[in-house]
Amino acid sequence: MALNVEALASQMLGAALPILKKGADDAEAFAKTEFTKIAQTIVAIGEQVAAGQINEKQAALLLDMQTSASRNVLLTLEGLALLAVEAAINAALDVVKGAVNGALGFALIA
């Protein structure tokens, strides 16, 4: 049985795309929630400095803490993206595994 490149590519895309799309949607929702919290805290720090409740040195330290929090959100997004790509690639390979291995007569894709 000959393998059809277009058919294989279409199957692989069909398996991978929904995973990538869902991964992107989930990452967006997570980022929105966490960055909103960080933004609210930054605004609150500014208000407290203006009200004289905390001094500038304390505000700078608190802002550094928010920066580290932002870094951790971005690192999670990076990890979620890797996970989504990993799942998409594996789904794309799985969906054509039978056809490819059957056509070749041996298990190229395990």
Residues that bind other proteins (CB under 8 A): 12, 19, 22-23, 26-27, 29-30, 34, 37-38, 40-41, 44-45, 48, 53-54, 58, 61-62, 64-66, 68-69, 71-73, 75-76, 78-87, 89-90, 92-93, 107-110
Report the nearest approach of other proteins to the CB of residue 53 (Å). 5
Angle between helices 5-50 and 56-104 (to 10 degrees): 170
Nearer to other proteins, 7 or 65 (CB): 65
Report the nearest approach of other proteins to the CB of residue 98 (Å). 14
Residue 1 CB partners (closer than 8 Å, separation 6+): 99, 102, 103
Nearer to other proteins, 1 or 37 (CB): 37
Report the nearest approach of other proteins to the CB of residue 96 (Å). 9
Residue 69 CB partners (closer than 8 Å, separation 6+): 34, 38
The Cα 76–Cα 70 span in angstroms is 10
Start-to-end Cα distance in the chain: 19
